Amino acid sequence: MGTSFPKGFFWGGATAANQCEGGWNEDGRGPIPLDMTLSGNKVTPRFTTMQLSDGRVVKVAPFAPEPEGAKRVVVDGEYYPSHDAVDAYHRYKEDIALFAEMGFKMLRMSISWSRIFPRGIESAPNQAGLAFYRSVFQELQAHCIEPLVTICHYDTPLYIEEELGGWSNREVIGLFDRFVQTIFTEYRGLVKYWLTFNEINSQLVAKTFAPEHAAGMMQKSYQALHNQFVASARAVRAAHRIDPDYQVGCMICSFCDYPLTCDPHDVLACQQKAQNMFWYCGDVMVRGAYPPYAQRIWNDDRIELAWGDGDVEDLKLGTVDFFSFSYYSTSCVTTHEGVEKDGAANMSLGVKNPYLEYSEYGWSMDPIGLRYLLNEIYGRYQIPIMVVENGLGTTDIVEPDGSIHDPYRIEYLRAHIEALKAAIADGVDLRAYTPWGCIDLVSASTGEMHKRYGFIYVDRHDDGTGTFDRIRKDSFYWYKKVIASNGEDL
């Protein structure tokens, strides 16, 4: 092909605090909604246990409206995956040593907001929380691994969600300001790359999962998203003020779709889905203003956004330095009836593509789509890009001799790295690749442990048993070789 990965390319992996740390109530950390949510079974995403105002305890399905006045509660004897997760809070040094052994140049990780501000509203940060991440960053620095830090990865403090009404309340922007300014000041010299919100567009899927509650939910979701756009833009401005070397990116979940047929209705529906679910966020965060088609979206969903003084200016002046996204699978869009839908717990929300193979979780595997999407994004924005999540979530088997053979994972990642290489040859300015769950961790959509992505296996199981021992899978040795050859030896 001629073109290869550039020198200094950031090979690495990605994690998130709530899915790997555990230590949910240690050293002053405050709870987040996910700490109060039960693991579901294989096909049912997590339920939330809530106490009604009359004292009764009920389980509330994902995306269902929460009963008035109900509070999330933790019930004795039930298993909450985030409480211990894979115990990275206590084992991060061992984990970082393993990442270094693979040759990682970058680790995408997140800071748990409620370790720093337990309820989100305190006027002074929790020193133990600050010290924890300082120690993690120093450990990474000692191993020459560059952190890429997600500031908010699905873990807004519970207090903000329950008492303040979450992100649809504008006040939260100010609380986020204080949080980001604290960490930007604290970690100067230890961190350079930041992402504001993980998969900021994911809150838009509620409509498709729960159409019966769509009206009120969408008004709330779009307002919450607007407030996050403003908070993110203000964070970019604060970062550049505090340290001109800071680079801040957006992080968007890739809804990458194809029209199922060449019926123009399908083609138009596909274009509109991409605008609604993907470009809507990228356009605001990269270009600094809502795109013209936003008006169509607001009209369709009868959205009326409340704007604050200064929002227009913040959005305009707080555009991101680079674009990042998660990529797992693609989907199809059709206006025709009777076509089979994608698998459960799959955010792509489309119909099956007859040309693709599917994982056991019903996620399509489409490396060509990655090259296609990278070209689409770069053609539109022409700013550096990082692919900060990608991978195959599946069951792994530990052999009697302790080895783990995962050729399916190697095959998936190899094909996707080839697609990255092809996109670079197409002219895309790609800077980093951090596959998801580089060490096994709790699944976001199912709360399971046995949906594994890692190069490193963790002995932890769906019922909460296990030793937390770390074991190198075959893919560990393969990825090490890939990194050592800068993507040549696949």
Q: Which chain residues interact with ligand BGP by CB under 6 A?
A: 16, 19, 198-199, 253, 326, 389, 393, 436, 443-446, 451
CB 246 within 8 A of CB 240: yes
Report, in Å, the least distance between residue 391 CB and ligand BGP. 8
3-state SS class at 184: helix
Considering the complex, state which of residue 87 and residue 155 has its C-beta at the smaller distance from ligand BGP.
155
For the chain, give the longest Cα–Cα distance: 68
Q: Which of 337, 371, 369 is nearest to 353 (CA)?
A: 369
Report, in Å, the least distance between residue 345 CB and ligand BGP. 6
Q: Is 199 a catalytic residue?
A: yes
DSSP 320: -
Q: What share of the chain is helix, strand, coil (3-state, %, to 5)?
A: 40, 15, 40
Report, in Å, the least distance between residue 251 CB and ligand BGP. 8
Considering the complex, state which of residue 30 and residue 454 has its C-beta at the smaller distance from ligand BGP.
454
Question: Which of these is catalytic: 357, 389, 448, 488?
Answer: 389
Report, in Å, the least distance between residue 153 CB and ligand BGP. 6
3-state SS class at 72: strand
Q: Is 389 a catalytic residue?
A: yes
Strand partners, 38: 47
Considering the complex, state which of residue 194 and residue 436 has its C-beta at the smaller distance from ligand BGP.
436
Amino acid (one-letter) located at 107: L
Token code pair at residue 473:
């899978």
Report, in Å, the least distance between residue 363 CB and ligand BGP. 8
Token code pair at residue 70:
């109900």
Distance CA 155, CA 104 (A): 26
Considering the complex, state which of residue 181 and residue 445 has its C-beta at the smaller distance from ligand BGP.
445
Considering the complex, state which of residue 108 and residue 273 has its C-beta at the smaller distance from ligand BGP.
108
Token code pair at residue 12:
């690495």
CB 160 within 8 A of CB 119: yes
Considering the complex, state which of residue 252 and residue 377 has its C-beta at the smaller distance from ligand BGP.
252
Report, in Å, the least distance between residue 346 CB and ligand BGP. 9
Distance CA 423, CA 362 (A): 26
Distance CA 467, CA 84 (A): 12
Token code pair at residue 421:
């290489």
Distance CA 269, CA 121 (A): 42
Question: Which of these is catalytic: 21, 161, 186, 199?
Answer: 199
Query: Could you give the residue numbers annotated as active site?
Result: 199, 389
